[in-house]
Amino acid sequence: MDNQIYKSGERVEKFCAVCGEERGHVVASVTKAGRITRVSCPKCGTRSPYKSGEVTARAAARPGAPYDSTHTYRAGQSMTHPVFGVGEVTAVIEPQKIDVLFPDRMRRLIHAQGRG
Ligand SMILES: [Zn+2]
């Protein structure tokens, strides 16, 4: 059942013992079969071994789809950035710029790339 193939740089939900809370971790290394072996916490930077089954359902727990600069976002949409974590679009600043509120702070990202 758990035969998902993961790649380095993807995100999985995992409890960080250092932060003391569950958050999206960046996949740091995988086996040739696509099994996660190590993940790193984007907030505190702690790398920890990853055991299969530790994931609390990648799809179900994910509030936003991965950030895609070619996607056109609207205020209120959420995304998961590979570095900054889960963010919510607060405003469209320019046709190709959006403000996104991440757990640490607001960041300006590009979107709708390759259009117009
Ligand atoms: Zn942490």
Give residue 2's pLDDT: 55
Nearest to 42 by CA among 19, 63, 59: 19
pLDDT digits (tens, 9 = 90+) for 78-98: 999 999 999 999 999 999 999
Tell me how far the alpha carbon of residue 85 lies from the centroid of ligand 1, in angstroms. 12
58 pLDDT band (50/70/90 cuts)?
Answer: very low
Tell me how far the alpha carbon of residue 5 lies from the centroid of ligand 1, in angstroms. 24
Cβ(24)–Cβ(11) under 8 Å? Answer: yes
Distance CA 45, CA 40 (A): 6
Tell me how far the alpha carbon of residue 76 lies from the centroid of ligand 1, in angstroms. 26
Tell me how far the alpha carbon of residue 114 lies from the centroid of ligand 1, in angstroms. 35
Distance CA 65, CA 81 (A): 9
Tell me how far the alpha carbon of residue 22 lies from the centroid of ligand 1, in angstroms. 8
Give residue 60's pLDDT: 40
Distance CA 73, CA 77 (A): 7
52 pLDDT band (50/70/90 cuts)?
Answer: low
